[in-house]
Chains A and B, each alone.
Chain A
C-alpha cells in the first residue's frame, strides 16, 4: 500500500532542521548491546523536544557491516540487529505523528560484495546481463585518472575477483563493488528500491556517493554528464508518484561542481555544501573570516526550489578533500595534533573535542550553522557536546553510543558492557558520567538547553531557511557579518571569530532608519544611520538582529483598520461614490503622515481632487490634490496611487491609503511610487514622450537629449528601487542608471531643478551634475505647465559631501586631540575670511587638514565653473541681470527685513532657550543694530558687485556628491519653503558661496559635538581646532571660486563689494539657520549663534 509523505509543502526541507543518527548508536531497546528501532521509538520524544524536524537515519539494511552498513547486502529489508520491517514502520508512523520527517540512505553507487546481485554477477558469464550489473575489466589499468578515495586502506580502484576471473571496479572499499549504471536494468532495480521505501511513506532519500556513478575512459570518473541523466530519471520517478519528498545529494565536490546536481530544479532537491564546512573550522582557528567569505563568494546560485545542506560534523571524518594542500596541512596541525585523529583525507573527531570543549566556540559555530543559507544538519550527540574515541578503528570513534545518563553504558543499553557494539566514551571530560542527556536536561544552563532554544529561535524566522545571503565586509576581518532577507524579514548576523573581544563598524547605510532588535533578548539597539554602525562583540560572541522599521512616534494618531473602498474602476474612486470618502477620510489622514508633506503643523480644512489621470496599462493613476488649510492657505500635491494585489511586495504601512475591494479581489490603494509597475510606467512615459489626457488637462513626458546615454543599453532591465525618504520629494532609482525625482508639492511653472539641469546638460554641457534625462509635466486647464517629476542619470559616487566631511572631521579631531594648538592655526582661526581667501593656503592648514583643504578648493572651483555656465546663457530666464544700485538697494532692504524678523523671534524665545545658550543669544541681541547695519552697507556698494544670475539657491555640503576626487552638484530646486518665483530669481552668486561656507561651519561644529560626546572633557581643548578647520576650508573654497571666476562679469571685482556682499549673505544665512533651529532644534541654536558672533569678531 502506498502511503503519502507527511508533508504537503514541497519545500518543507528548506525550513527543516535535520538530525542525523545511526540506529545502532541511539538507544538499545532489547538490551543486546546494539541500538535498534524499538529503542529509537522510545527516544522520539527526546528528538521532538529538541525541536528538530527531520531524522536522517544512516544505513540500517542487512549488511556484513564492513563499512558500518554502507556495504548493503539487501536493499529491501532491515538488519536484524536493528529490528524488523514492522519495527521500522512503527517508528516511521510514530515519527510522522510527532510531525517529524524521516530520511533514509539510498546507497546506489555500490553494494556489498555479499549482495545477491554481486554473487550472481561474479558467477555469470562475461557479457551477460547479470554480469553487467557491475563494472568489470580484464586489467586494472582502465580509468587510471580516477583518484583513490579511501587512501588509508585501498591502493587501487580495481580488485581481482578469483571467481569472476576479472577485476571489478570500486571507488570505496574493495568489498564494495560499484554498480554499472550503463546497464538499464541496474537503473530499474534502483528505482524499484526507491519506490519500495517511498511507498512506505519515507520523506527523503540521501543519495550516497552520487558523483561516482559513471565511469569513462579519459576522465576522472566523477561528475560525468551521464550521472545527471541517472539522477534526473530518479527524480522523475519520485515526482511522478511521490509528492512532498526530497533527494539529498552527497557530492563532496567544489560548489561549482555540486551545482549541476540541482539541475534546473529537476535533479536533487538538496546537496551538502562540503567545502564550507572545513573553512568554518579554518576561519575560527585563523580568526579570519576570509575562508568563509571566499567559499561563499564561489558558491553559485541554485534554483529557487533547491537548498544547500549545512553541517559541522557527521558520521564520516571531517573531510579535507575540498581544500588546498596548504590548507589541509594547517587543518591537520590545528585540529589533529595526534596522527591517530586522522583518517583518509580528514579528521575523525567530534565537534566538542575539535573545539577543546570550549562552550563559546561550540555556540559560535552552531550559530553559523543555524544562520547560514541552507538547512542545518545536526549530528547526534553534538547537542550535548559528546566526545569521541580516536582509538577505535575507522570512523567508529565518532559513532559511539548516545550518552543518556550516568548509569551503566551511559543509559544506552542494559546489556553487559562487553556486548556493546562499541564502548561508550568514558574519559573524565566527555565520558557519559559527565556528559549526558539527563544531566543536561536538569541543567538550565546546559548546551542542550542552549541548542533547544536556538533551534526554536531559528524556527521562528523563515528567513534563515529561505532567505538570500549578502556578506558585509567590515575592516576588521575577525568579524563575520552578513545579511539575510526574505519576504519582508531582514536579519543581520554578526559573529566574532576571535577569542578576544572585537570592535567592528558596519556599513549599514542601505538600512538607514531601521532599528536593529537583537533577537535572543529582544533588545532594541540604536537606530541605523548612514554612518558606520559600531558594535562590540565579546570573545566568540555573535549577534542576530531583526532590522525593523522605526517605531511610529507615540503621538501618532491611532490607526483603525484601513478604510475599505468598493470600486470597479478609477471612475468609481475619482468621480463616483467613493470620491467623497477619498477626499474627506482617506487623504486628510494619509497626507500628514507622509514625510514629504510640507503642511505638517497646519490644520487641514479640506482636501479636493482637482485633477487625475490613469496610467495606461497599469493599475496606477496620478492624482492632483488641492489642500485648503484652516489658515486659508492652499497647496496642491501630486499623489500617484496604485492598486496592488501583491501580498509579497507590500509597501510600508505609511504608504497605504486604503483597502480596496474590487472585481479583482481585495487589494490596497498605495503610493504608486512604492509599486514597481507604476514606476516603470512613469519611466516609459518619459522614454516614449507620451501624452496622457487627465480629467482637466494633460500629463506629458519630456525626453531629454541625454536620455539614451543615461539609460544605457536599451534592453537592459532597470528594476525600480526606492530611495531614502526625503523631506520634500520622493526618489525612485532605476537600476544603477537613472533616478526619478517626484516633486510632491506642485506649483505652476518650470521647476528650477529641471530647468537648470536641462540647461546645464544640453546647452552649457556642464558635466559636474547628474545629467538631465527627462521630465514629466502637468498642465491643467490654462495654467502654466508644472514639472511634476524629473529624471536624471545616476552618477557613481562615494557618498555625499556632508557625510564625507563628517568622517574627515572625525579623523581630524582624533589626530588633533593630542596635539598642542599651533599659533599659526590660531592666527588663521581669527583672521577674516575674505583676507584668508585672498592669499594662498597656509602650510599649517595643509599639514593638519590635508584632504579637506584640497576637497574644499576643488569644490570652490567647480562652483565657479557652475556659476560661469549659468551666467553664459542668453535664455530669457537665465541671462544675467545687472547688480546695480537699484538692485543692491532692494537686496539690502530685503535682507534687513528678514533679519529683523529673526531677531524678533529670538528675543521672544530667549526665555525658552537652554541655560547655556541664553548668554550667547543675549550677546547676539545686543549686537542687533550693528549686525543689521551690515545689510545697509549693501546698498552703499559703489564698485563692481558682479551680476545677478541663476544660482543653486540651496547650496550646502549635502547637495554635493564626492566622485573620486571631484564633486557632482545636485538639487537645483532651491529652498522648498520659498515660492517658485523666488527660487527662479536671479541673484548674486555670492549667496551660494555663503550657503556653502555656513555648511562648513555646521560640519565643523557637528563633528566637534559628535567627537566630544564621547570625550566631554576635550571640548574646550578641541574647540579652537574646529574654528581653525572651518576658516581654513572656507578660505580654500572661496579661493578656488575666485581663481576660476576672476575676470568674469558676474563675480564682484571690487574688493569692498566682495567683502560686503559676502558678509551680508553670510549673516543672512546664519539668521535663516537661527530661525530654523528655533523652530525645529533649539539645542542646535549654538551653531548659528556662534557663526553670527564670529562674523562680528571678523569685523
Chain B
C-alpha cells in the first residue's frame, strides 16, 4: 500500500466486470500521459482487494469500494453510498494533490481524457475541474434546458457539464469538503457547482469527448426530472443569500481542446408526440398550472397550443420564467413537490420540441448559439425570480 499518492482516482467501474482491468489500465495510462512520475491510488467498484498494477510512479494501488445499487436514480448505478465523501477521505488519507471522480462505463474512458481532467489540478492550481462535453445537438438536453442556464444565472459561472460523470478536485477541496456530519450527496446531482462557487473555488472546464452513462432500456422522464430538478430547487433556499447577490455570470477558463465538428448536423426528430403531449397536459392540468404560473404565462402557453407545429417555439424568456416559477412553487410547497415536478414534464417536452424544431435545421454551432441565447435569457430574467422569491404573492401579472 502506498501511503502517499499524487493522484487518487475513484472510478464507478463497469457493469461488465471483465473490463474492469481494461478500465484501470486506461486510467493509469492517462496519469502516465502527464509526464511526471505520479503515484496513483484507484478506488474502484468491482475490483478485487489487494489488486495492483503498474503506474508511472510505481505500483498503483487498487482499492475496492463498497457499493450499493441505487436503481432509483436513473442512469447512475453501482456507486458507493456517499462517493464524494469516500473520494475526499481517500484524498486526505493519501495526501493527494489531485482527486478524480470517474463515472461508470469504460468504453468511452480514454487515457487522454483522464490526463486532461487531472492536468489542471497539478499544473494550473485549479480546484474543481468540470467536464466540457463536446455534445451533439441532442445530447444533454435537461442540462441545456434547465440546469446549465439556471445555475449560470444564479451562481454566476458558465459551466456546461454539471450533470457530467467525471470531475476533478484539488487537495484544497478535499481539506474542506466531506468533513463532519454533513452529507456530500451524490443523490443530489447538482450540488457541486453551487458549493464550489460559494466556497470561492477556482473552477475550470476541460473540453472532453462526450461520455454518456449506460442508457437503461426505458427512461422514466418524470423520475429523472424529479430527481434532478428536486435537487436543484432544494438547494436554492439555503443558498439564497449568496445567489441573490450575483449580478452577472462569467466564463470559467477552458483548459485544453477537443476537435469537435462544429458543422455536424443531426437526423430530424419527430416533435409531434412532444407537442401533442404538451397540448394534452394543457387541457388536463388546468387545475395545477394556475397554482404555479401567472396569468401572462398561461396565456402564452395557450397560444402555443394553437401554434403550427412547424413553427412551434417556446420563447426563451418565457421558458426562463416558467422554470423560475416552478422553483418558487417548490420552495413554497404550493402543491406537493412530487406533483409539482411531474407537472413540469409536459412543459419540458414543449421546450424540447421547440428546441428540436430550431436546432435540427442547422449545425451544432448554431445549436450552441441558440443555447447561449437561452442562458442569457435566464440571466436577464433573474430579477423576476429574485423579486418573487423575496415577496411571494399570488397577485402577479
Give A contacts to B, CB under 8 Å.
444-445, 449, 453, 456-457, 459-462, 519-523, 548, 551-552, 558-561, 564, 566, 659, 661, 666
Contacts and interface: CB of A to CB of B under 8 A. Distances in A.
21 contacts: A444-B393, A444-B395, A445-B395, A460-B244, A462-B241, A519-B390, A520-B391, A521-B387, A521-B390, A521-B391, A522-B383, A522-B386, A522-B390, A548-B247, A560-B250, A560-B252, A560-B253, A561-B157, A561-B202, A564-B124, A666-B202
Contacts of A661: 125
A453 B253 contact: no
A453 B250 contact: no
A564 B387 contact: no
A796 to B, nearest CB: 37
Given A444-B394, A521-B387, A558 B251 contact: yes
Interface in B360-397: 383, 386-387, 390-395
Of A461, A520, A523, A560, the most chain B CB neighbours within 10 A belong to: A560
A449 B395 CA distance: 13
B252 A561 contact: yes
Interface residues of B, number: 24
Given A561-B253, A566-B125, A661-B125, A520 B247 contact: no
A520 B392 CA distance: 10
A457 B395 contact: no
A523 B386 CA distance: 10
Nearest to B127: A666
Shortest beta-carbon contacts, A-B, top 7 = A522-B387, A522-B386, A560-B251, A521-B387, A661-B125, A460-B241, A559-B250
B162 to A, nearest CB: 16
Nearest to A565: B125
A401 B205 CA distance: 60
B390 A453 contact: yes
Nearest to B249: A558
B291 interface: no
Contacts of A520: 387, 390-391
B248 interface: yes
B87 interface: no
Nearest to A456: B390
B203 interface: yes
Interface of B: 124-125, 157, 202-204, 240-241, 244, 247-248, 250-253, 383, 386-387, 390-395
A461 B241 CA distance: 7
Given A444-B395, A460-B240, A522-B387, 10 more contacts: A459-B241, A460-B241, A520-B390, A551-B247, A559-B250, A561-B204, A564-B202, A566-B125, A659-B202, A666-B202
Contact of A523 (B124, B387, B392, B394): B387
B124 A460 contact: no
A661 B247 CA distance: 26
Contacts of A659: 202
Contacts of A558: 250-251
Q: Is the interface of A mostly helix, strand, loop or mixed?
A: loop
A441 to B, nearest CB: 12
Nearest to B254: A560
A453 B202 contact: no
B135 to A, nearest CB: 21
Contacts of A462: 241
B391 A453 contact: yes
Contacts of A449: 392
B194 to A, nearest CB: 16
Nearest to B237: A456
Contacts of A459: 241
Nearest to A653: B250
Nearest to B392: A453
A77 B248 CA distance: 56
B232 to A, nearest CB: 20
Contacts of A548: 247
B201 to A, nearest CB: 10
A461 B386 CA distance: 14
Contacts of A559: 250-251
Nearest to A564: B125
Contacts of A460: 240-241, 244, 390
Nearest to A563: B253
Q: Which of B124, B247, B251, B390 has the most CB of A within 10 A?
A: B390
A558 B152 CA distance: 14
A552 B248 contact: yes
Contacts of B241: 459-462
Nearest to A518: B387
Contacts of A666: 202
Contacts of B204: 561
Nearest to B241: A460
A178 B392 CA distance: 51
A558 B376 CA distance: 13
Contacts of B157: 561
Contacts of B248: 551-552
Nearest to A554: B248
Nearest to B385: A522
A30 B387 CA distance: 43
A1078 to B, nearest CB: 33
Contacts of B252: 560-561
Max count, chain B CB within 10 A of own CB: residue among A456, A461, A548 = A456
A619 to B, nearest CB: 19
A869 B129 CA distance: 66
The listed residue with most A CB atoms (<10 A of its CB), out of B124, B202, B252, B391, is B391
Nearest to B395: A444
A1058 B248 CA distance: 58
B250 A561 contact: yes
A659 to B, nearest CB: 7
Nearest to B383: A522
B351 to A, nearest CB: 25
Nearest to B240: A460
A351 B93 CA distance: 59
Contacts of A564: 124-125, 202
A658 to B, nearest CB: 12
Contacts of B386: 522
A829 to B, nearest CB: 49
Contacts of B395: 444-445
Nearest to B388: A522
A522 B324 CA distance: 15
B321 to A, nearest CB: 14
A566 B250 CA distance: 22
Contacts of A552: 248
Contacts of A560: 250-253
Contacts of A561: 157, 202-204, 250-253
Contacts of B393: 444
Contacts of A522: 383, 386-387, 390
Nearest to A462: B241
A559 B124 CA distance: 18
A520 B389 CA distance: 9
A449 B332 CA distance: 12
A672 B292 CA distance: 50
A337 to B, nearest CB: 36
* A548, A561, A659 interface centre (most CB from chain B within 10 Å): A561
Contacts of A523: 387
B197 to A, nearest CB: 10
A78 B15 CA distance: 61
A288 to B, nearest CB: 30
A444 B392 CA distance: 9
A560 B249 CA distance: 9
Contacts of B247: 548, 551
Nearest to A453: B391
A560 B193 CA distance: 16
Nearest to A661: B125
Nearest to B124: A564
Nearest to A552: B248
A460 B390 CA distance: 9
Contacts of A445: 395
Nearest to A560: B251
Contacts of B202: 561, 564, 659, 666
A456 B388 CA distance: 12
